[in-house]
Structure 1
Amino acid sequence: MLLAAAADGVHVLDHDGRLVEMSDTFAEMLGWSREALLGQHVSTWDHSDSAEHLTERIRSFPLGERTSFQTRHRRADGQVIDVEISRVALTIDGRWLLYCASRDITRRLELEAQQTAMLDNEVMGILRLREHRVVWANRAIYRMFGLPDDASLEALAPQLAPEALDLTARLEARRSDLLAGRPVRAQLQMHRLDGSPIWIDIQGTRLSADARDTLWVLADISALKRYQDEIEHLAMHDALTGLPNRRLLEDRLGQGLALSRRDGQPLAVAYIDLDGFKGVNDRLGHAAGDLLLQDAARRILEGVREHDTVCRMGGDEFVLLLPVLRHEEEAELIVQRVLQALRRPYSLAASGAVHVTASAGLALYPLDAHDGEALLRLADAALYQAKEAGRNQLTRWGRPEARQDQPGPGPETEDADGREQPAGR
C-alpha cells in the first residue's frame, strides 16, 4: 500500500529486468495502466539500449550499492521524457530485486536550458561612476531601464537613485571592499522608467586607487529570477494539481506547530482519500482520472480557509493542514465541508456525471500528538479507520465513532468504481 501511494515513480525489477511491482505514480508517469506494465521488461519504456544489454547491466549491478543517474523514458503515447533515477539492489526473502525511484525532470531540464541560453545571450550594461555620479553608460543601460537612446545621463540618474533605493549610496557602503581591490557584487531590484520592476545583477571594481572612480557591469536577471521562482515552485508543488507537495507540507507543518506552541491554539492535520477513484481511473482512463483529481483539488481549496494548506500526497490522497483553530471542533466543521463538496457529481467531458465520495481521518495538536510526524501518522491511521467503517465519513483519532453528516452523495449511490447506481441496489 505504501509503495502504491509513493509520490515518486517507484518500481521494482527482478534479475531479468522485468517489472514486479510499482507505485501508481510510476504508471501515471508512463501513461500505462498497472496491469499493462506488470511483468513487462524494462526495455518497454527504456530505449537507451537493447533489451539484452539492459538485462546485462541490471544483472551486474552490485548488491547494496546506491546510484543515481539521468536517462530518458518513452511513454505509452510515444512521448519521450527525461527522468532522474535512484536505485539500489537488495535481496528480499532470498530474491534479488532492484528498487528504482524515478522522477520526471523534463520541465526542470527545459527551464535550465532556457536559463543557460538566456545568460549566454545577455547584453551587459556598463556604468562608470565618479564621486557617486554617472559619467558614462553604454546603450544597453538605456535599454535596460527603458530610456530612449538619445536620453542624457541626467535622465538616467533618477532610475539609479530613487528614494527607496539609492544605488550609489549602497555601493558606497561597500567602499572598503573597493579600496582593498576586491570586486563587489550584488543583486538588486530596481525600476524602469515606466515603473516596472527589474532585477539587476551588478558587479563593480575600482578604476582609481581611492575608489572614487569605479566601473560597474549590470545584467538584467529578471527572467532568471522568474525561472528560479518557477523551478522552486515545481520542486514544492504537485505537477498535476498545482497543490503543495509533501516537502512544502512538512515545512508549513513545522511553522504551524511553532505558532501553535507560542499562541496556545490548536492545529489539525486531516488525511482525505477519494472513495472509488481507482474504479473511475480503470474504467474511464487516466485522462478522466486526472480531470477528477484536478476538480477535487479545486473543491478542497474552496472548502478550506485562506491560511490553510492543501497538499496532494500522491494518487488520490490529500492532506489538509489546519492551523490557528479557534477550537478543536472547527477542524471537523472544515473537513466535513470539504467532504460535502467532494460528494457533488463530477462532469468528466463525454464520460458524463460521475459520483465519488471521500473518507477522512483527523488528528489534532496538542490533544493527540505533539510533533508533525506523529500527527501525520495518526491522521493516516484515522483515515484507515474511516475506510474500514464503510467509507464516506470522517473519523477523528481517538474517537471510536465515525462522523458522517449524510449517508451518501444524493438520490443515487455509487459502487466501487464510481458508476451511478439506482438507490436500493
Structure 2
Amino acid sequence: MAPGVFLGAFLGNAFFLHWSIPQALLIALGNTMGPLLGAGFLHRGKSPWKDFTTARDVYRFLGGMGVLGSGVTSIVGSLVMVKLSSENTGMSFVESWLAWWTSDSCSILMLSPAIFTWFFPENSRIHPSFSKRSDLLMGGAILALLLVGWAVYFFPGLPEMTSLGLTGMFLPFLVWVAMTMSQRKVFSFLGIILFLQFGATAMGYGPFAHLVKNPQDAMIGMELLGMMTGFAVILVNVLTLERRSVMEQLEHINRTLESRVEERTRDLDQKTRELSGQLLFLQLLLDSLPVPVFIVDPKGYFALSNQKLGELLGVAPPDLIGRSVDEFFDSGCFNLFSEDGASFSEDSELRREDITFCANGQKRTLIANRVSIQNPISGMIVSLQDISERVFLEQRIQEREQLFRLIVETLPLPMIISRKSDSVLLYANPSVGTLFQLDIQPWIGRPLLSFWADPNDRDLFLDEVTQKGVVLDRESELRMPSGEKIWMSISGGFSHISDEDVLIVAFRDIHEVRERQMILHQEVRTDFLTGLGNRKDLQEALPLSIERAREGATPLVVCILDLDDFKAVNDLFGHAAGDILLREMALRMKASLRAEDYIARLGGDEFVLILENLEPNEDLIGFLDRFRELIEMPVALPTGENVSIGLSLGLTIYTEGETDPDLLMRQADEALYRAKAEKGSRSSWWKIYSMAP
C-alpha cells in the first residue's frame, strides 16, 4: 500500500499542483511516512488497533493518525513549501504547518472513518438495535442535513453572525445520528458535512467565507471546527456503543441473576414443602403409606405405627404403643444408639434384609429402611417391606438353576456358552472335554475360533441364528486339537447372561454318519462292475464340463462308444468272461485319459467320454488313434484264450452358447448310430456329428 500512496502523492503534486520533481518527491515521501508512522503507532503493543470499538480506540486513532501521522506529513510539506519553493507564499513555517496540519487532520477525522467502515464492513460495529432502523429514518436524516446546510450556507440575506450561529445546529443533529445509527452511517454523515462545508466555503458561501477576509484563515477555522466536530461525534458514537454493550451485559447479568434467584427460590420452596411434608409425616403419612411404618424411641419402644404394621403383626396399632420392638423382631435389629449408649449412632440410615419374625405361625422375611430423627420425637422412623414371596421365588429359581446345572453337567451331549462378540468361551460341560479329548478348564476365557475348520462358518451360523432365533441340526466341520477335522450337528441360539450377549451351542458328533453318507453317495454314482461313473454321475459331470467350456471358451468333445462283438464273447465264453473283458476295457480307457477327462459306463458295453481342452483337428485324431490301439489289444481270459474286440464311436463338439447336456448326448448317439450302420463299408471306426449326412 505504501508504494501506491507514494506514487499517488508524487503524481498529484507534480502534475496537478505543478511542484518541481524534487519537491514532489519530498512531499510524497512525507505523505507516505506520516501514515506509516501513524499505523505503526496504532498497531503497537499487545492489543493492536482494529476498529472504533472503545473510547481508547478513538484516542489512539486521534493520536496516531490525527496528531503523529498528520504532524509528520505537515512538517515535511511545510519545510518543502517554505525552504524549497521558488514562489513566495508570504507564510511563515508555523503558519504553513498549521494550515497543512489542520487540513490533513480534518480530512483524517472526517473522511477516514467513513472509508474504513465502507471498505472493511466486517469491522464496522452495528448495534442490533441500529439494524432495526428503517430506511425512511435514514432518508429523513439526509433531508434534515441538507436543509440545515442550505440554511447555514445558502439562505439568502442571512446575517453572517446568524449563519455562524446556525452552524451549531450540525452538532445536536450529528449527536443524534451518532447515538441512533450505525458507525458506517455516522461516519458517512461526517464526510458529507465535510464536503458541504469545504464546498460552500470554497465557493464563497457561509460564515467562514464572509467573516474572515483571508480565505486561508477561513479554511483553517472551518477545518478546526470540523476536527472538533468529527472527534466529538466519533467519541459520542463509540461511547454510545460502549454504553449499549455495557447495558446489554448488565441486562444479561440481571437476567442470569433473576434466573438463578428464581431457581434458588424454587429450590427453597421445594425444601420448604419437603420440610412441611416431614412435619406432616408423623400425623398423616404413617396411615397413608401402603407399607408398614413405625417410629421407635431410643429405648426400643414403639412410639407410633400405622395400620399396615398392625396387619403385619396381628396387633392393633394403639396396642403397640409402649411395647418393645424386641417382642416382635430379632433383638437389636433397630438399635439406634452407639455402643456406649450415650449418643445416636452416626449410621442414621440403614437397610437390613435379614429381619425375620413369625406372624400367625408363619415365618416372614422383611427389608427394613430406617432414618434417625430428632424432632419432634427422638428416635427413628422404620419402614418395612415384606419380601417373603420374593425370597421364596429366589429360592425356587436357585433350586431350578442348580437342577439345570446338574442336567447340563451330566448331559452326554456337549454344550458350551460363548460370548457372541468374540467367541470367548464362558462355560463348557464335561462332555465337551470328552468330545475334543482335552482339559476344557484352561480354555475358559479364550476364543474358540480355532475350533472351526472354516472361521467364516461361525459368522454364517451367527447370521442364521439371528434370522431364525434358534438353529437346529446344522452340519458344520470342526477341528480337533490334533488338527483332525470332524463333522458335527450344531444346534444353538442367543441368550443374555450377566449383562452379556452369549451363544449357547450343543454338539452332536455325526462324523461316522457323514462318512457313511459319503460312501453311499459314492456307491450310488459308481458302476459296481467297472468302478467308473454311472449314468447318475454322468448327469452331474456333463453340465459342469459344459459350464467350464463356456466360461473358458475352451473346446469340449462328448463321445459315446460301444464294444463290437461283445455279445459273441458272452455267448462263447460266458458272462464271467464278459465281465472280465469289461473291467479290462474300463481300466484301459481310464489309463488313456488325462486328468481333466471323464469316463462313465452307460450300461452293457456302452461308455461315454468327455474330453476337455482338446483341439478337434489335431489332438482329437491323435487321441482316438491311440485309444483304439489300446482297446483292440488282446485280452487274456481265465480259460487261456486271448480275445480281441473292436469298437465304434460317435462324437459331437460343443458349440458356444449351447448349454443343453441332453442335446450333446443325442448328437453323439446319432453319430454312433451312423458309425455302427456303416460298419461293413466304413473307412473310419468313428463318426462326428457334424460330418454325418
Name the TM tier (shorter chain). Answer: 0.5 to 0.7
Aligned with residue 124 of structure 1, among 413, 425, 449: 413
Note the residue ranges of structure 1 that are not aligned, 5 or more in a row: 1-121, 402-425
Aligned to 1:142: 433
Q: Do structure 1's residue 315 and structure 2's residue 604 form an aligned pair?
A: yes
Whether the 8 Å contact between 1:361 and 1:394 is mirrored in structure 2 is yes
Change (3 A) 1:142 1:154: same
Aligned to 2:458: 170
Whether the 8 Å contact between 1:160 and 1:168 is mirrored in structure 2 is no
Q: Take 1:264 and 1:179, find their aligned partners in 2: how far apart are those partners? A: 40
Aligned to 1:246: 535
- Which of the two has greater helix per residue? 2
Change (3 A) 1:215 1:338: same
Q: Which has the higher contact order (CA 8 A, sep 6+)?
A: 1
Alpha-carbon displacement from aligned partner over 1:348-403 (angstroms, at most 9, x marks no partner): 33454222221211222239x884333322322222232233378222334479xx
Larger Rg: 2
Aligned to 2:573: 284
SS of the equivalent of 1:340 reads helix
Whether the 8 Å contact between 2:527 and 2:534 is mirrored in structure 1 is yes
Whether the 8 Å contact between 1:185 and 1:202 is mirrored in structure 2 is yes
Q: Do structure 1's residue 218 and structure 2's residue 510 form an aligned pair?
A: no
1:180 CA drift (Å): 8.5
Amino acid at match of 2:628: L
Alignment TM-score, normalising by the size of structure 1: 0.55
Range that drifts further, 152-161 or 335-344: 152-161
Amino acid at match of 2:428: A
Whether the 8 Å contact between 1:178 and 1:184 is mirrored in structure 2 is no
Alpha-carbon displacement from aligned partner over 1:145-195 (angstroms, at most 9, x marks no partner): 233xxx242258889431875879937972894698534653221211221
Aligned to 1:347: 636
Whether the 8 Å contact between 1:188 and 1:201 is mirrored in structure 2 is yes
Q: Take 1:166 and 1:363, find their aligned partners in 2: how far apart are those partners? A: 42
Change (3 A) 1:220 1:328: farther
SS of the equivalent of 1:390 reads coil
Compute the RMSD of aligned alpha carbons: 3.7
Alignment TM-score, normalising by the size of structure 2: 0.35
Whether the 8 Å contact between 1:299 and 1:341 is mirrored in structure 2 is yes
- Which of the two has greater strand per residue? 1
Whether the 8 Å contact between 2:424 and 2:446 is mirrored in structure 1 is no
Note the residue ranges of structure 2 that are not aligned, 5 or more in a row: 1-410
Aligned to 1:182: 470
Whether the 8 Å contact between 1:185 and 1:203 is mirrored in structure 2 is yes
Aligned with residue 553 of structure 2, among 264, 267, 288: 264
- Show the 5 A alignment for 1:10-409: 124-129=413-418, 132-147=423-438, 151-154=439-442, 160-162=448-450, 170=458, 174=462, 177=465, 182-183=470-471, 186-206=474-494, 208=496, 212-366=501-655, 371-390=660-679, 393-399=685-691
Amino acid at match of 1:295: E
Whether the 8 Å contact between 2:651 and 2:672 is mirrored in structure 1 is yes
Change (3 A) 1:123 1:363: farther
Change (3 A) 1:166 1:133: farther
Change (3 A) 1:197 1:283: same
Change (3 A) 1:216 1:247: same
Q: Take 1:172 and 1:302, find their aligned partners in 2: how far apart are those partners? A: 42
Alpha-carbon displacement from aligned partner over 1:264-306 (angstroms, at most 9, x marks no partner): 3332111111112112223333232222212211111111221
